[in-house]
Amino acid sequence: QVQLVESGGGFVQAGGSLRLSCAANGRTFSSYALGWFRQAPGKEREFVAAITWSGGNTYYADSVKGRFTISRDNAKNTAYLQMNSLKPEDTAVYYCAANRWGVGPHLKTLGEYEFWGQGTQVTVSS
């Protein structure tokens, strides 16, 4: 069991940056792959980025590639999503999720994750 808490969301103008954090409890954080998903009003939740349990591989949605960077600090039980060059279409609630021993491109799939945080709102104005 792992509990996830997101933070770092807020209001930013287009072209700006934000860094989201996903803090986890438990001693087994390093055994979990972490993913970031987002959900805009009236839309389905979609994949944004993921990092394997080892941190050796990362995956990104095409819409954020080159602008967002996912990372993790196992010593702090925290994962991050650095978001640069933000666009109004990035506006959404962002969720962190965990998958035990997760590897591979299936980490882009929402259903692969066992645990979810409560989400943090990101609003980008034009």
Interval 37-54: pLDDT, tens:
999 999 999 999 999 998
* 65-124 pLDDT tens trace: 999 999 999 999 999 999 999 999 999 999 999 999 888 889 999 999 999 999 999 999
The DSSP letter of residue 104 is S
Terminal Cα-to-Cα distance of the chain (whole angstroms): 40
Of the candidates 58, 68, 121, 52, which has an alpha carbon nearest to the alpha carbon of residue 91? 121
Q: What is the arithmetic mean of pLDDT over 10-38? A: 94
